[in-house]
Structure 1
Amino acid sequence: MLFFYFIGWVIFSQSILMRMFTCCKKKRRLDTYSIKQKNHSGSPWLILSAHRGGSFERVENTLTAFKNAIENGMDLLECDVQMTKDGVVVVAHDNDILRLCGIKKNVNEFNYDELPPMQRRIPLHFSEGEYVLLPEEDGKFTTLRQLFEIANYKLISIDLKDKNDEMKHKVNDLIKEFKREHLTIWGSMVPKEHNKIGRLNPNTPQFFSGGQTMMVYLMYYLGLLFLYPLPSDAFMVPIFNSEKEKLFAQMVKKRKGGCLMRLAIVILGVLLRNSKNLYRHLRKRGVIVVVWVLNEEQEFIEALDFFPEIDGIMTDCPTKLYEFASRQNYKLE
């Protein structure tokens, strides 16, 4: 009997209370509409975002990739940063440079000028057996300073990979130097590091860390989210369709992950696909919602049809997303 009472409470909370009450309401600090007016955007309303600069069209996190994303009307450039041994903040996702350079070493083991050149053929993440070719001029790692120099009024999302306080300060100094506090979303997926980043510069918006994201979903499915003070500003979450669930399950199996891990991926996919009221509630409380990583036109259509409440889409294929958005007239309610 208690179980049925609980289910009734959750349904009542998600369908009624979350629409009526938004306790601890946050003011949206990212004026995305004004930002889009200053950009050559592919959509007047939807935030178009390039994952690692658009890693299916150009080599990830290179200047060529980010320039391609900018030319194709992307509003937000997503990247990850690490720091070299001599204190240069570079744009790099993987913990080591094996996939990019063929060497099993970390970025922080090199001075910037000593970083080896990238390979000519880079294996794609999440796309088994496929590669992207590196142009001749893109052999060197991009620095965060170089990215800021070309970004102008584009939003940039920065995931700080290193648990390194010096890097946090260097990134913060660059944000201030380029006057990008209102054009940057930063943070870490590690809760402790994420909190340090927030304290370092409270004026720069943050994305939800891994722990914060889990807490949001927990509160949502307990029916208590309307009471929960939202700690960050941008909610960036994956969307899994059945094909992606199979892909991730295969990857976990290949890496010798257990049955429980594969089951967790399926459950996560179900939870993420049933979050329409959650996204609506977050937007009403001033949080930007961006879903990732969608690379096919059918995925764009399904996301916007099923989740009209989202603010943006992140993709590895900026040209494809730009062309799609240019043909549509999606206006978020």
Structure 2
Amino acid sequence: MLEPNQTLWLAMGIVAAIVGGYALTSLFLLRFPTLLHRKKQLKFCCKHISHRGGMAEGLENTIGTFQHAVDLGTDMLELDVQLSQDGIVVVSHDNEIKRTTGADIKISDTKFADLPPLHTHQEVTFLNALPVCFPDATDRSFCRLRDVFEKFPAVVINIDIKNDDDELIAKVGEMIHEYKREAITVCGSRLDTVAHKFHQQHPDIPLFFSAKRVVQLVLLFYSGLLPFIPLKESCLEVVMPSIVWGERWADTVPTKYKVLARVVDFLLMSKVLIRHLDRRGIHTYLWVINNDADFERAFSLGAKGVMTDY
């Protein structure tokens, strides 16, 4: 029969062996994830992604700005969708469109044909605090998602569904299938409820991580559980937090938020995490990058591509 101190040492040894074995297995599978998971096979790899079509060079989310980006060779168009009062899937970041049109109305309360023209000057959120003016903009109209699909049938498109609206979610998925764009469309939402509903209805369409799932991803990574867990998403699209202490917000963001951004940056911008995802066939896209230093850092971290306003 073992003495009490011997029992304690035996228990500690067993715990150490279990923990050590778990850690070693986790590290091994972090390096070789395809031993457990089938690697995702996306049909595209996009280095340059035009945020809202490239809103520093044209009015955001318009056919004219999308065409400009495509003409310059962008790899992917990123856009946002809302649902109008008459059930049209409208390409717009905001539902309340005072920022872009000056009209104090909502897309959801307005028929598509009654939407007003866009301002010729708009603030570029991730560029500077002053509005950028496009006095010669020939296209000042809201467009339908259908218009984008018809105009750019072979261009990879990233769709952010902005609202938890069952009709909107269903129509976006149905339209992707209608135009046979399953292989060249990424879809999702920052809202986890929206992303979950969309994936349930359309599991064959590549999905990007919701905000909640990004938090879960980080927790799984630092707990060592990530290599064991299957992931439904195909793209990690996250802000590169270091842009918060760059020129754009240097004098406007309170110090406490800059400190928080540095903590998030340390946890999220991990080369090991991004490399692991890449080995599982999951692309990492960082946003919104608008200067050379940030471009360089994003790619040095292992990002497949960057979203930019240029």
Residues 28 and 200 from structure 1, CA distance in 2 versus in 1: closer, same or farther, beyond 3 angstroms? same
Who is 1:311 aligned against? 304
Please give the residue correspondences for 1:38-57 in structure 2 after superposition, counting only pairs within 5 Å.
47-57=47-57
Is the contact made by 2:116 and 2:141 (CA closer than 8 Å) also made in structure 1? yes
In the TM superposition, residue 147 of structure 1 has moved relative to its aligned partner by 0.8
Structure with greater Cα Rg: 2
- 1:221-260 aligned at under 5 Å gives the runs 221-241=222-242, 244=245, 247=248, 253=254, 259=256
Question: In the alignment, which residue of structure 2 is the partner of 1:210?
Answer: 211
Identify which of 291, 298, 302 aligns with 2:297.
Answer: 302
Aligned length: 293
Q: Secondary structure at the match of 2:122?
A: strand
Q: Answer yes or no: is 1:159 the counterpart of 2:160.
A: yes
In the alignment, is the contact (CA less than 8 A) between 2:34 and 2:280 conserved in 1?
yes
TM-score, L = length of structure 2: 0.85
Percent of residue pairs bearing the same amino acid type: 33
Contact 2:129 2:248 in 1 (8 A): no
CA distance, structure 2, for counterparts of residue 215 and residue 248 of structure 1:
28
**Secondary structure of 2:182's partner?**
coil
Match of 1:130 in 2: 131
- 1:9 and 1:294 map into 2 onto residues whose CA distance is 41
1:80-229 mapped onto 2 (5 Å cutoff): 80-126=80-126, 127-133=128-134, 135-229=136-230
8 Å contact kept, 1:124–1:132: no
Q: Is the 8 A contact 2:237 2:285 kept in 1?
A: yes
1:321 alignment partner in structure 2: none
Q: Distance in 1 between matches of 2:191 and 2:182?
A: 21
Change (3 A) 1:142 1:24: farther
Q: Which residue of 2 aligns with 1:40?
A: none
Name the amino acid aligned to 1:20.
F
Pairwise CA distance, 1:262:
5.1
SS in 2 for 1:215: helix
Indicate how the Cα distance of structure 1 residues 221 and 110 shifts in structure 2: closer, same or farther if over 3 A, else same: same
SS of alignment partner, residue 159 of structure 1: strand
Determine which structure has greater relative contact order: mean sequence separation of CA pairs < 8 Å that are 6+ residues apart, divided by chain length: 1
Counterpart-to-counterpart distance in 2, 1:245 and 1:10 = 40
Q: CA deviation at 1:272?
A: 3.0
- How far, CA to CA, are the matches of 2:200 and 2:233 in structure 1? 12
CA contact 1:9–1:223 (8 Å) conserved in 2? no
> 1:136, 1:299 → 2: CA distance?
29
Q: Alpha carbon RMSD of aligned pairs, Å? A: 2.8
**Pair 284,142 (structure 1): closer, same or farther in 2 beyond 3 Å:** same
2:263 to 248, 253, 267: 267
Give 2:5's aligned residue.
Answer: none
Q: Which runs of 5+ in 2 are unaligned?
A: 1-15
Per-residue CA deviations over 1:152-204 (Å, capped at 9, x if unaligned) read 21111101112111112211221122110111111121111211101111111
SS at match of 2:286: strand
Question: Residue 8 of structure 2 aligns with which residue?
Answer: none
1:23–1:226 Cα contact (<8 Å) kept: no
Q: 2:37 aligns with which of 16, 25, 41?
A: 25
**3-state SS of paired residue (2:138):** helix
Tell me the TM-score normalised to structure 1 length: 0.79
Residues 118 and 277 (structure 1), Cα distance of their counterparts in 2 relative to 1, 3 Å cut? same
For residue 188 of structure 1, what is the amino acid of its counterpart?
Answer: S
